[in-house]
Amino acid sequence: MLQQSLSDIEQAIASKRLSLLYVQAPNCGVCGVFRHQVGELLEQMPAVNGVFTDISLVPSIASRFHVLTAPAVLVFFDNKEVYRTARYIKTAELKAMLDDYLQLMQDENNLSN
């Protein structure tokens, strides 16, 4: 489901330690292809909060997150942006980076137990 307000997007990002924001644009064929690939990746990583939006529904996202082109992927850890990519999304690189943060979270969890 597409988030349709900036406040909903910000709340969704803040709701988990690790969140991925996917921004698409209308009439963008590449956006649909990469959305499918990112969606499949997130299905394998339930600890990552996937947030999807369309820049035409939430135009203020462009200025809030400095998104100038679509598709764009922004990853947030502890509510801070740690990764950004746009246009051509390298899914293997994205997966490796998410795996690193998931491992960090697991290591932190193991230390606290």
d(CA 43, CA 104): 19
Q: Is the pLDDT of residue 109 over 90?
A: no
Strand partners, 54: 24
CB-based contact 85:27 (threshold 8 Å): no
Q: Is 51 helix (H, G, I), strand (E, B) or coil?
A: strand
CATH class for the region spanning 2-112? alpha beta
Q: How does pLDDT run across 18-42, given as a tens digit for each residue? A: 999 999 999 999 999 999 999 999 9
Q: How does pLDDT run across 84-94, given as a tens digit for each residue? A: 999 999 999 99
Q: How does pLDDT run across 54-80, given as a tens digit for each residue? A: 999 999 999 999 999 999 999 999 999
Please state the pTM of the whole predicted model.
0.94
d(CA 66, CA 60): 10
CB-based contact 18:105 (threshold 8 Å): yes
